[in-house]
Structure 1
Amino acid sequence: MSDEINMTISIPTDADGYVLLRCEHCGTYFKGTPSDLKDDGVLHIFCPSCGLISENYVTEDVLELAMKMAKNAVKDMIYNEFKKMERHSTRGIITFKTGKRPKHENEDPIRSGIEAMEICKFPCCKRTAKIKPLLKMTGAYCPFCGVKNYEIE
């Protein structure tokens, strides 16, 4: 049995190509393009609302799906090991019967969610992100360099 399990979760983009993110400090949602988020020139991602750097910006939907996928994989692994034990204990004083395969939890696909955001151009980095309209009016931190911008286009 292998010690490593690889699972892939597809996080969809909205119609404009932005991915939903959530700050773990203040809970603010914002969006960035996958190319900007993966860019090697971007050292950290800053929250546009509080300006802090989070360890991760994973939303609750992604975490729920990851937990369901992990539980289903573990159920399958345990069942398969019990099935092996059943095959090896067919002859002898003690026998082992596995029973039915456990039911899987539904792994519903993730939706892009929250659409009430506006695309903002950050002049400091010449990049864009989607933020709440209120943040756009009051000023927001650039998600790519952390500079507070008061006049966002």
Structure 2
Amino acid sequence: MSDDFSMSIPIPTDDDGYVLLQCPNCGTYFKATPSDIQDDGVLELFCPSCGLVGENYITEDVLELAIAMTQNKVLDMIYDEFKKMERQFRSGPVTIKAGKPPKHEPENPIRSGIEAMEIVSFPCCQRTAKIKPILKMTGCYCPFCGVKNYEIE
């Protein structure tokens, strides 16, 4: 049995090319482009609302999908091992029955979600992000450098 396996979870973008993120500290949702997130010039991401740096900005939907996919994969691996043992011990003093294949958890697709956000330009980094309109009015932190931004139109 191989102990290594990998999974990939495609996270969809909205119509403007932004992915949904969630601050692990305050729970605020915001969006950024994948190219900005993966840019080598961006060392950390800051929450636009609280301004704190988080370890990861994975949303609950992505986490739930990852857990369901992992559980399904592990159940399949265990069942496959029992099927091998069933064939191996078919005749002899000890027999093993693998039984029915396990039922899988539903793997619900991820949606880009939360569309009530506005694109904000951050002049400090020459980048954009989508945030809630109230944050745009009251001022927010740049997700890429943490500078407080007061955009008044």
Q: The TM-score by the shorter chain falls in which range?
A: over 0.9
Q: Is the 8 A contact 1:121 1:152 kept in 2?
A: no
Matched with 1:23 is 23
1:89-108 aligned within 5 A = 89-108=89-108
Q: Distance in 2 between matches of 1:129 and 1:152?
A: 16
1:86-125 aligned within 5 A = 86-125=86-125
Q: Distance in 2 between matches of 1:74 and 1:152?
A: 52
Aligned amino acid, residue 15 of structure 2:
A
TM-score by length of 1: 0.98
Q: Does 1:38 align with 2:56?
A: no
Deviations 1:88-123 (A, max 9, x none): 111111211111101111111100000000000001
Structure 2 SS opposite 1:130:
strand
1:1-153 aligned within 5 A = 1-151=1-151
Deviation at 1:4, TM superposition (A): 1.4
Q: Distance in 2 between matches of 1:9 and 1:42?
A: 22
Structure 1's consecutive aligned runs of 4 or more residues displaced over 4 angstroms after TM superposition are none
Count, aligned residues: 153
Aligned amino acid, residue 132 of structure 2:
K
Deviation at 1:152, TM superposition (A): 5.7
Q: Is the 8 A contact 1:120 1:152 kept in 2?
A: no
Unmatched runs of 5 consecutive residues or more in structure 2: none
Q: Distance in 2 between matches of 1:80 and 1:102?
A: 10
Structure 2 SS opposite 1:103:
coil
Identity among equivalent pairs (%)? 74
TM-score by length of 2: 0.98
Unmatched runs of 5 consecutive residues or more in structure 1: none
In structure 2, relative to structure 1, the CA distance for the partners of 1:125 and 1:118 (3 Å cut) is same
Deviation at 1:82, TM superposition (A): 0.3
